[in-house]
Chains A and B, each alone.
Chain A
């Protein structure tokens, strides 16, 4: 083509600016701003200190109420050492350092000692985190030393997580931390994740892994929606038939008592509360298989149809059973909260049953079945109160029935922002404490960066007094199990749940911009992948170390 040779070829050689830019960007991320969720106040300088795994120590401060032997912190030191020096555990670091030493390319002596000194005010090493546990901590990083101060060991755990996120590697594999000062505490005291082990059974390993990832995002409540219509995997000591007949499989698809203990212990070591939910009177189909006469027989044309509805509220045996079951649950699960469910009760079966209708007449409920539901829930709440547990219930209970004990916690799961704001106003006006889950139904997936939606939630943007707003104790990310099991749980949960984690931990003013959050969350997601959590990507891009599984 003769014509073409007359056209001058491009005068502009392409600058390799993309790569350069990328490198600058990555360097930028290697400052203290890389912490997720963002601490309340954080001052960092560009002055950086070299860390060597051979000369790195955790220690207890002299004034610390907890000292060596503190189970929670001793174990955390082991965990965080491996998280801070990921190459060291895989044995690669040694190669690097040897080579560097010989070449004399290391700017610092590898042997310079660095100690993270941890001090706590209370020795709560053998306790469980609870609703009023302080998670506040102060972290200062100096030359050769970091000082981590907290009221409780739970706060110290949060500080260790933050410290681990401050450490970064340069291109030669050396570890550094910048001079940093952090004062940090959570905005909300209740920051939960709900997993549903009834619609699909999740192997214990999947739960433990989720607890690990929760700690990385500073979540502190594992809401275990352990049973529901499809299956009853909880192996009860008192009523073993519940799982032997109600689980998907009585041997392989159950949580034994030791499984449950393992989950609770794994959670405790990470400062996470385990909040069990035994949802009733609806969502109980699987209960009926191992507990005859518990569910309401539905009628069709004057005779039992053979199907069953919600728990039968008209029989005294029901309450006896529930009292016995909750007595067991209150012992097995140490947390002071028990979730009683109470959502989505379908009245049609109750309506069909002549005995239930007769009971309604006797109680003077007329034909208002919400009164029957309220009657049932009131009885259940009284059972748990007697066991010295705080009840938490789904919002339906409040919607139908305002006569519930004032210390009950309400859990909002329904609706658009407009409707959950209205609900927040109503509930807090009634003086009730509230946990918000509605904006974080993370099992609803869609194409694109939906983490924006989870990030930009404003939990306190409802009309109400300051006093009312204090009653919102936190929020919860819900991963319902219709379409989720061990094959896809982790990438579906992370890093989308991390967006909610920052909303619940950090100051809203400092963290309201998704564009500002994006690079930090991207960086955090790669940290999760590096730690073996298969967190899915936010958008086009890459991690230095990609996930190596399938």
Chain B
């Protein structure tokens, strides 16, 4: 039976204006909290697990509480991912609020929870591996006396289970850490749950990227789509082509990602079960590439003479493909994920059209005036190159729309805001695996609770067979960088992206906006308490306001 988490209301939750809060408020008063904010029967769980049973029996987490490997778990003390996660979650659970004399002065001897035992149940824990689109992220959590048990086939599920466990803990009326008897069985609805950050339009210090990976883990996101380069700057320091960032970054020393930085990001993400998918968008969106790689971009012509400006990557030169082959060889070894994102969006044909050499090439190839054929030609060759690196690839939807021949295992990323459902139908009807981003462009801002719009999206709400729908592997919230840098990224992303997080994780029928508001409000305060400046949903307060000024 599902019951109200009475005590959680008092200390973890925030009160909206009407909820006049006093210390030592009596339990009976909880029912009187006025309508705008009410504690959810699911406490502050976010995203909501697939199956939850919370009882009213509560236990205390004493000072001796530990998170330990279960006997017979296939991952032991040598498993970095888990050992790091135990410490991380122990600190989140007891962290800032650790009180002196906790455990003393108890009025009665309440039942105590002494351990959380973590079992990895399959033979290969994947402890030393990287997460992938096929990773098993499921877990079962049972909070009973005297110890709670977390079981997961792989470490990835265990990480999610630890986050869930930490979300179940609340402070009782005396400030003691408590947890209710709970049974949870959980797994994600979609395998690909991503956040796109854009480090080209503004450089993001590594610290900011790491903080957001940390926050992604709190929201069970599992893909960091790193839109690392674009027109404005090329901060990726390539070992093979160091001139790319030397010439193409905002500053060659202070505004670049060194190989060590990239490694750090990938490992930090791995420890949180997050994949890092780099995007090297071509042939458009490449102005910054041209600075350090002469002859890579197409010279634009004004009349019969070069105008001095440059267009997309030049698709008619052998040197272009030699460069791409070497470059993507490096990328495939630097980024361990099975996929790279190849972009392919918004290719402007005007420069190609202006260039007489390109026109000649078009004629020789029999493309006529159809420049999408030239784009197709380029992409084809690029895909062949990337295939030799044994990577899968993701492309933006235009590549599909323009009729470029794709391999059957290509992943198509749908981003255009109009006709999204039709596009989803078309792409999946053609048999391609699909990722949805169109409804989740979080760089678009407005006053009000726009998280509700992100939350209300149903990704499979397009016309298509069950088989088609099974091709949608997930979605991504995109925070493009025109107006975003380290100063405003985190509060702009969170908790708005959390709404997307729940849509991609939880069951399709989790659609109650009021319940979502009640849980998300508390979840937001939890992020704030963990040092993440997640912005407010509406007027309210957190017991511990953001102090990181």
Given contacts A230-B539, A536-B488, A547-B487, contact A446 B445 (CB under 8 A): yes
Q: Which stretch, B248-256, B467-475, B509-517, touches the partner chain A?
A: B248-256
By the criterion CB–CB under 8 Å, are B535 and A488 in contact? Answer: yes
By the criterion CB–CB under 8 Å, are B361 and A4 in contact? Answer: yes
The yes or no answer to B464 lying at the interface (CB within 8 A) is no
Beyond A7-B316, A534-B488, A538-B483, list 6 extra A-B contacts (CB 8 Å): A15-B308, A18-B291, A249-B21, A485-B541, A488-B491, A550-B490
| B contact residues around A4 at 8 Å (CB) | 316-318, 361
Chain B 225-263 interface mask (CB, 8 Å, partner A; 1/0): 000000011000000000000010011001100000000
Total A-B residue pairs with C-beta atoms closer than 8 Å?
A: 205
Please tell me which one of the listed residues B16, B22, B207, B446 contacts residue A250 in the complex, with CB atoms under 8 A apart: B22
By the criterion CB–CB under 8 Å, are A14 and B317 in contact? Answer: no
How many chain A residues touch B (CB < 8 A): the figure is 72
By the criterion CB–CB under 8 Å, are B545 and A16 in contact? Answer: no
Please tell me which one of the listed residues B202, B203, B232, B445 contacts residue A445 in the complex, with CB atoms under 8 A apart: B445
By the criterion CB–CB under 8 Å, are A550 and B211 in contact? Answer: yes
By the criterion CB–CB under 8 Å, are B536 and A484 in contact? Answer: yes
In the complex, residue of chain A having the shortest beta-carbon distance to the beta carbon of B19:
A248
User: 10 closest Cβ contacts across the A-B interface?
Assistant: A230-B17, A491-B488, A487-B533, A488-B491, A199-B539, A248-B541, A542-B250, A534-B487, A536-B488, A550-B211
By the criterion CB–CB under 8 Å, are B318 and A544 in contact? Answer: no
The yes or no answer to A516 lying at the interface (CB within 8 A) is no
The yes or no answer to B528 lying at the interface (CB within 8 A) is yes
Interface residues of B in 530-545 (CB under 8 A from A): 531-541, 543-545
The yes or no answer to B15 lying at the interface (CB within 8 A) is yes
The yes or no answer to A19 lying at the interface (CB within 8 A) is yes
The yes or no answer to A483 lying at the interface (CB within 8 A) is yes
| B contact residues around A200 at 8 Å (CB) | 536, 539-541
Chain B residues with CB under 8 Å of chain A are 15-18, 20-23, 201-203, 205, 207-208, 211-212, 232-233, 247, 250-251, 254-255, 290-291, 294-295, 297, 299, 306, 308, 310, 314, 316-319, 357, 360-361, 364-365, 443-448, 481-492, 528, 531-541, 543-549
By the criterion CB–CB under 8 Å, are A249 and B543 in contact? Answer: yes
| B contact residues around A16 at 8 Å (CB) | 247, 291
- Give Cα A209 to B546, complex, Å: 14
Please tell me which one of the listed residues B212, B357, B545 contacts residue A7 in the complex, with CB atoms under 8 A apart: B357
Chain A 1-45 interface mask (CB, 8 Å, partner B; 1/0): 101110111111111101100000000000000000000000000
By the criterion CB–CB under 8 Å, are B202 and A542 in contact? Answer: yes
- Give Cα A491 to B360, complex, Å: 51
- Give Cα A16 to B249, complex, Å: 12
By the criterion CB–CB under 8 Å, are A546 and B360 in contact? Answer: no
B201, B208, B255, B536 pick with most chain A CB within 10 angstroms: B536
The yes or no answer to A253 lying at the interface (CB within 8 A) is yes
By the criterion CB–CB under 8 Å, are B357 and A539 in contact? Answer: no
By the criterion CB–CB under 8 Å, are A447 and B483 in contact? Answer: yes
Given contacts A4-B317, A534-B487, contact A546 B299 (CB under 8 A): no
Chain A 518-535 interface mask (CB, 8 Å, partner B; 1/0): 000000000001000011
Interface residues of A in 319-334 (CB under 8 A from B): none
B529 to chain A, nearest CB (A): 12
B328 to chain A, nearest CB (A): 18
Chain A 476-503 interface mask (CB, 8 Å, partner B; 1/0): 0000011111111011100000000000
By the criterion CB–CB under 8 Å, are A487 and B208 in contact? Answer: no
- Give Cα A249 to B549, complex, Å: 21
The yes or no answer to A149 lying at the interface (CB within 8 A) is no
- Give Cα A159 to B482, complex, Å: 34
The yes or no answer to A286 lying at the interface (CB within 8 A) is yes
The yes or no answer to A206 lying at the interface (CB within 8 A) is yes
A-B contact pairs, 28 of them (CB 8 A): A3-B365, A7-B317, A7-B360, A12-B299, A14-B310, A16-B291, A18-B291, A199-B17, A200-B540, A205-B547, A230-B16, A248-B21, A249-B541, A534-B486, A536-B483, A536-B484, A537-B488, A540-B232, A541-B202, A541-B232, A541-B250, A542-B203, A546-B255, A546-B486, A547-B205, A547-B486, A550-B208, A550-B489
- Give Cα A5 to B322, complex, Å: 13
| A contact residues around B544 at 8 Å (CB) | 252
By the criterion CB–CB under 8 Å, are B487 and A537 in contact? Answer: yes
The yes or no answer to A289 lying at the interface (CB within 8 A) is yes
The yes or no answer to A87 lying at the interface (CB within 8 A) is no
A63 to chain B, nearest CB (A): 41
By the criterion CB–CB under 8 Å, are A539 and B203 in contact? Answer: no
A404 to chain B, nearest CB (A): 30
| B contact residues around A545 at 8 Å (CB) | 254
A230 to chain B, nearest CB (A): 3
Chain A residues with CB under 8 Å of chain B are 1, 3-5, 7-16, 18-19, 199-201, 203, 205-206, 209, 229-231, 245-246, 248-253, 285-286, 289, 443-449, 481-488, 490-492, 529, 534-542, 544-550
Given contacts A16-B247, A485-B546, A546-B485, contact A253 B17 (CB under 8 A): no
A429 to chain B, nearest CB (A): 33
Please tell me which one of the listed residues B247, B251, B361 contacts residue A3 in the complex, with CB atoms under 8 A apart: B361
By the criterion CB–CB under 8 Å, are B481 and A540 in contact? Answer: yes
Given contacts A289-B20, A540-B201, contact A487 B547 (CB under 8 A): no
- Give Cα A17 to B130, complex, Å: 42
B317, B357, B533 pick with most chain A CB within 10 angstroms: B533
By the criterion CB–CB under 8 Å, are A486 and B254 in contact? Answer: no
- Give Cα A290 to B251, complex, Å: 57
- Give Cα A538 to B316, complex, Å: 38
Please tell me which one of the listed residues B233, B486, B539 contacts residue A482 in the complex, with CB atoms under 8 A apart: B539
| B contact residues around A488 at 8 Å (CB) | 488, 491-492, 533, 535-536
By the criterion CB–CB under 8 Å, are B487 and A536 in contact? Answer: yes
| A contact residues around B251 at 8 Å (CB) | 542, 544
B209 to chain A, nearest CB (A): 10
Given contacts A485-B546, A540-B201, A542-B202, contact A14 B291 (CB under 8 A): yes
| B contact residues around A446 at 8 Å (CB) | 445-447
Please tell me which one of the listed residues B364, B483, B539 contacts residue A539 in the complex, with CB atoms under 8 A apart: B483
By the criterion CB–CB under 8 Å, are A245 and B357 in contact? Answer: no
| B contact residues around A492 at 8 Å (CB) | 488
By the criterion CB–CB under 8 Å, are B291 and A9 in contact? Answer: no
| B contact residues around A18 at 8 Å (CB) | 291
B451 to chain A, nearest CB (A): 11
In the complex, residue of chain A having the shortest beta-carbon distance to the beta carbon of B377:
A1
- Give Cα A3 to B549, complex, Å: 61
Please tell me which one of the listed residues A3, A10, A231 contacts residue B17 in the complex, with CB atoms under 8 A apart: A231
B205 to chain A, nearest CB (A): 6
- Give Cα A513 to B373, complex, Å: 44
- Give Cα A538 to B202, complex, Å: 11
By the criterion CB–CB under 8 Å, are B15 and A248 in contact? Answer: yes
By the criterion CB–CB under 8 Å, are A19 and B247 in contact? Answer: yes
A17 to chain B, nearest CB (A): 8
| B contact residues around A449 at 8 Å (CB) | 483
Given contacts A7-B357, A7-B361, contact A540 B202 (CB under 8 A): yes
| A contact residues around B487 at 8 Å (CB) | 490-491, 529, 534-537, 547
| A contact residues around B310 at 8 Å (CB) | 14
B163 to chain A, nearest CB (A): 19
In the complex, residue of chain B having the shortest beta-carbon distance to the beta carbon of A538:
B483
A541 to chain B, nearest CB (A): 7
By the criterion CB–CB under 8 Å, are B535 and A485 in contact? Answer: yes
By the criterion CB–CB under 8 Å, are A485 and B536 in contact? Answer: yes
- Give Cα A529 to B360, complex, Å: 51
By the criterion CB–CB under 8 Å, are B485 and A253 in contact? Answer: no
B263 to chain A, nearest CB (A): 20
| B contact residues around A7 at 8 Å (CB) | 316-317, 357, 360-361
Given contacts A8-B357, A485-B546, A544-B254, contact A537 B539 (CB under 8 A): no
- Give Cα A538 to B481, complex, Å: 11
- Give Cα A200 to B537, complex, Å: 11
- Give Cα A529 to B491, complex, Å: 17
- Give Cα A229 to B543, complex, Å: 19
In the complex, residue of chain A having the shortest beta-carbon distance to the beta carbon of B320:
A4
Given contacts A10-B314, A488-B535, contact A536 B207 (CB under 8 A): no
